[in-house]
Amino acid sequence: MALEEAIARLHRWLGPKVSQNRYDVETHGHCESYPESKPPLAVVFAECEEDVRSVLQWAGEYRIGVIPFGAGTSLEGQLLPQGPAVSLDLSRMNRLLHVRLEDFLAVAEAGLTQVRLNHLVRNHGLFFPIDPGAEATLGGMAATNASGTMTVRYGGMRQNVLALRVVLANGQVLEVGRPVRKSSSGYDLKDLFIGSEGTLGVIIRLTLRLQPLPAHVYTFRVFFPDLVATVRAATVVMASGLPVARLELVDELGMRAVNRYLGRSYPEAPVLFVEFHASTSAGANAEMEEALVLFHDEGAIRTDVARTEQERATQWEARHKLYWALTSHFAGHQFMITDVAVPLSSLPEIVAQAQHLLGEMSLEGSIVGHVGDGNFHTLVAVPPGEYSRAERFAEQVVEIALNLGGTASAEHGVGLRKKRFLPLEHGPAVEWMRQLKALFDPAGVLNPGKVV
């Protein structure tokens, strides 16, 4: 009864911005690749700061959870209610507020997608370099500390978000961070909200660092006879200090899935997708040539250089559609995606162990990743009912990563799925994380049950 009364009040306050339409609630209680879904009580489509404050005030009064929602592309169960909760959809707050060309800055609302932002700033000769393989919102990307194929060169969200405007659980609005390239002024609350997965506050505005579009881009693919040799080659190129802009791994199974999904005929062998960005053609060419020598010394069997813009786009299309190619290849299966990162020098060792473990556990899975960052994913596909086998695999990969000094999640976040790994990685520091959560959200209304 109290719940019905609470929702009726929300309708009265926010009118048509509140939806209990079946499609809306179902699409907001679902995470890509997470085996369960659960609809929230309602979806609120916020259109301004006041809407966000109203929802948080209402939630505090009725002790109902609020799950911030960007584009819904997260992978770890972050959006699934763990009790009575509404989804707070920020996608209508999607304006680019201004671009400061001379400062290489943009200020945007949280619901703007990075794809749209790039479309809008491109004519100024600028770009925002973080490209998770999905059309995510900037707010969701900050909330998960997302990264992408160019993070090896330009950094992830923490390095490229300078300031945030955040609404706290008590409705207070905070500005954290400054539009400057560096600051030593006080505790860094901006970086605390980045990666907090909607559990500490609702991000409504971001000040972002932009990059000049590179004048010269060199893109190529290098194939190797086996997976570990491919990864070793990636670490050799990184150790050489060459300023790689992208360095991505796809295994043999991944290439087979891409061929089927996109109707291509690429060699079905482990491959590195590589790119260099430079201000002069001679510079980019020299870097590419040097990398090619290193790759050949490491046993490369074939190189395909993208000569035109179209060829470049086709190359990256294969990488960006890889996840969909694999889920289509394993249609009807459930997926567990590991997301560990280790120090670069340990990458060949852990990839070899993950590959061995897949065989030993008779699991089907593809190993792909942002290897220039020491980060790889194993996408394990299991028939329904066998999910615990995939979980056992993931647990072992995380243990190996932690023993090598790595992390359980490099970019996808914790959500529900990776919560159990937190104590393994952080030990007693998890208790301090819990205390921070209690400090910012004493009533526990912000994305309850996630992260800690």
Point out which residues bind ligand FAD (CB under 6 A). 32, 67-75, 78-79, 90, 110, 132-134, 136-137, 139-141, 143-144, 146-148, 197-198, 202-203, 323, 411-412, 447
CB of 407 to ligand FAD, least distance (A): 13
Q: Distance between CA atoms of 178 and 207, rounded to whole angstroms?
A: 8
CB of 40 to ligand FAD, least distance (A): 11
Q: Considering only CA atoms, which of 370, 417, 380, 312 is closest in space to residue 147?
A: 370
Nearest residue (CB) to ligand FAD, 93 versus 284:
93
Question: Which contiguous run of DSSP H or E holds residue 197?
Answer: none
Nearest residue (CB) to ligand FAD, 69 versus 266:
69
CB of 370 to ligand FAD, least distance (A): 7
Residue type, 196: S
Nearest residue (CB) to ligand FAD, 73 versus 355:
73
- Helix/strand/coil percentages in the chain, nearest 5: 40, 25, 35
CB of 335 to ligand FAD, least distance (A): 11
Nearest residue (CB) to ligand FAD, 79 versus 162:
79
Nearest residue (CB) to ligand FAD, 132 versus 449:
132
Nearest residue (CB) to ligand FAD, 40 versus 139:
139
Question: Which contiguous run of DSSP H or E holds residue 85?
Answer: strand 85-89
Q: Distance between CA atoms of 232 and 221, rounded to whole angstroms?
A: 15
CB of 443 to ligand FAD, least distance (A): 17
User: Rounded to whole angstroms, what are the CA distances from 397 to 34, 274, 388?
Assistant: 19, 26, 14
181 exposed, middle or buried (CB, 10 Å; 0-12, 13-18, 19+)? exposed
Q: Is 428 left (phi over 0), alpha (psi -120 to 50) or beta?
A: alpha
Degrees, nearest 5: CA angle 355-33-375: 45
Nearest residue (CB) to ligand FAD, 196 versus 287:
196
CB of 119 to ligand FAD, least distance (A): 16
CB of 301 to ligand FAD, least distance (A): 27
Strands 85-89 and 65-69: parallel
DSSP 80: S
